[in-house]
Structure 1
Amino acid sequence: MAGIAELVSSAKGLGIFDFFIPFIMMFAIFYGLLYKTKIFGDPSKERASRTISLVIALAASSYIMVFTPAGVTISGFLAAYFSKTLVVVLALLGVLIVFYLLMNILKPEAKWDLSKFGWGALLIAIVLGISIFVSSGGAGIFPGIKNINIGGLDSGTMAIIVVIILTGLVIYYLISGDGGGSGNIPQVR
């Protein structure tokens, strides 16, 4: 039984990633644009409009098979582009997960507006999201960004310091109440 790696290798050897997938993507984009803009009439009512849009989309997408910008294959470009896009989407997803957790833990009955509290939670979520992104090796994706060392501290020590500071801010917020120091200190019985 062939594994996924062998299947992908065979598909690469057959030119699926170099020609077929870029062709299908561009065909779908061109046909969708022609269909939506209704340049040749309403495709839902006129068969000729669908046929003309189909022929033009097929012809325009066929040019993808001969296109190679600056020595880089279109499949190489698309692979790098979508991989880096996935990393950005995952980083944003991580920030949103931390933000929603903070909003639900610190103020569960709050409405989802970015009031004074919400902006602070969003800032903490962004800092934590960036910290997680960098500590998991995400900075290596961007070639211009090097490891940041402040005062000779390595990234692990800086992450611990950031977590301690954020924990202190959360504790301060919980003790001080919503008014920033005007709340009552809970009594222990």
Structure 2
Amino acid sequence: MRTDILKLGLGLAFSVLMLSTVAFAQGLQDVIQIAKDVGVFQFYLPFLLSFAVLYALLLKTGVFGAQKNLVTIIALAASGFIMVYTPVGIAFSTFLANFVGNAIVVILTIIVVLIFVGMLQSGKILPENFNDIMKGNTLWLFLLLLVLIVLGVFVASGGTSIFPGLNISTKQLFGSIGGLSPTTLAIILLVVGTGIIVWLFSKPDKAPAK
């Protein structure tokens, strides 16, 4: 299974290398344009992706046993229909481009959250009594602050554009809050956030129960 996937990856790398050779001594933009002109993004990559997925699924499920020749023929034939498949007037390549792009935005957002959580659990940037501080309402307040930070980065990066009809920019978001300018609101958020952090870490420890 891994050998077949490796062969498929090497084939893709060889194809890209040959395409780059054709556009030798030209800029990356020209290479991409040539790839678009010859239908690499519109036909070749969707076909290759469909073939890889179908081939892996057929082998994994074992519907046709371990007959790789039969599985290869079926996967190639089924993937060939992708070349002419156009659902609802939208090219399949366009769907894949939007889907992969939106998925990456979501994945990056999740990664940012995991990075924050990992930093907090490392114990290197926070006091040793952090776990004692983060209890009850304090924990929920801290989580809310973390969610707001990630959400702000998500909106500022244009992530809301992946939702149809929901295109919110930071300027629109900040401008709709009390008529404040983004600069003023950013200063307020900075002061409030700093105050919350100071309050969290300056709270006196509760006396241990006797």
Moved more, 84-93 or 30-39: 84-93
Alignment of 1:6-155 (within 5 A): 6-41=30-65, 43=66, 49-103=67-121, 104=123, 105-107=125-127, 120-142=141-163, 143-146=165-168, 147-148=172-173, 149-155=176-182
Q: State how many pairs are aligned.
A: 172
Tell me the percent identity: 36
Offset at 1:109? 8.0
1:2 aligns with 2:23: no
* Structure 1 vs Structure 2 CA RMSD: 2.6
1:174 aligns with 2:188: no
1:33/1:110 CA distance change after superposition, 3 Å: farther
1:160 aligns with 2:184: no
Structure 2 segments unaligned to the other structure (5+ residues): 1-24
1:128/1:40 CA distance change after superposition, 3 Å: same
1:38/1:10 CA distance change after superposition, 3 Å: same
1:19/1:52 CA distance change after superposition, 3 Å: same
Aligned counterparts of 2:135 and 2:46: Cα–Cα separation in 1: 45
In 2, are the aligned partners of 1:18 and 1:75 still within 8 Å (CA)?
yes
1:154/1:86 CA distance change after superposition, 3 Å: farther
Aligned counterparts of 2:191 and 2:181: Cα–Cα separation in 1: 16
Counterpart amino acid of 1:92? I
After superposition, the C-alpha distances for 1:91-130 in whole angstroms (9 at most, x for unaligned) are 222233233334442245878xx97576554433221111
Aligned counterparts of 1:131 and 1:151: Cα–Cα separation in 2: 18
Instruction: Give the helix-richer structure, 1 or 2.
Output: 2
After superposition, the C-alpha distances for 1:10-52 in whole angstroms (9 at most, x for unaligned) are 00000011111000100011111100001122x2xxxxx2111
Aligned counterparts of 1:164 and 1:118: Cα–Cα separation in 2: 20
Aligned counterparts of 1:37 and 1:115: Cα–Cα separation in 2: 47
Q: Tell me, what secondary structure is at the counterpart of 2:110?
A: helix
Which structure would you say has the larger RCO, counting Cα contacts within 8 Å and 6 or more residues apart? 1
